[in-house]
Amino acid sequence: GDVAGHSLHAATVMAELRHAVRAYAVEGHQPGEILERVNELMRTLLPNELATICVLLLHPPSGRIRLASAGHLPPLLSLDGKVEFVQHSAPLLGVRAPRPPDLEFVLPAGATLVFYTDGLIERRDATIDDGLAALAASAGRVDDDLDRFCERLLVELAPPEIHDDVAVVALRRN
């Protein structure tokens, strides 16, 4: 997830949201319900804040994924040199608007799913589409070591002077 802003306050809000997501997940709620509950909490306690987030539930043996997004950038799926973005358009947290149903799909064996924040792909001198295209080009080759893969994405894509937080998480199904 990512909160609007670049301050200690924004980091504090993100920490609050992270703990709320964990609490609702531990209660056993599905991704979309987690986001509904976090959105209500946020609109009540933090009415002037906006945030994006992507939550998924993975069943490792089958690769079944249930995913819900709240305005977050689409995860990237990489398999055998081919990449595609997993689109699930939904309103940001902090906005009163209907949410779409959770997206359900199977993560194929050998596939890697990449989650990232906007700080990885947004540039002042390029469009968001340019940043997504650069990510797709870099993520077409996935290193055997996912830590090394994430580090390579940071080196290839993050600007020399970072003005925003940058996070990358990669998940591979064996």
Domains in the chain with CATH codes: 2-172 (3.60.40.10)
pLDDT tens string 21-61: 999 999 999 999 999 999 999 999 999 999 999 999 999 99
Could you report how far apart the first and last alpha carbons of the chain are, in Å? 25
pTM above 0.85, yes or no: yes
Is there a contact between 117 and 158 (Cβ–Cβ < 8 Å)?
Answer: no
Kindly report the number of other CB atoms within 10 A of residue 124's CB atom.
Answer: 6
The Cα–Cα gap between 27 and 44 comes to: 20
The Cα–Cα gap between 173 and 124 comes to 35
DSSP-derived secondary structure letter, 38? H
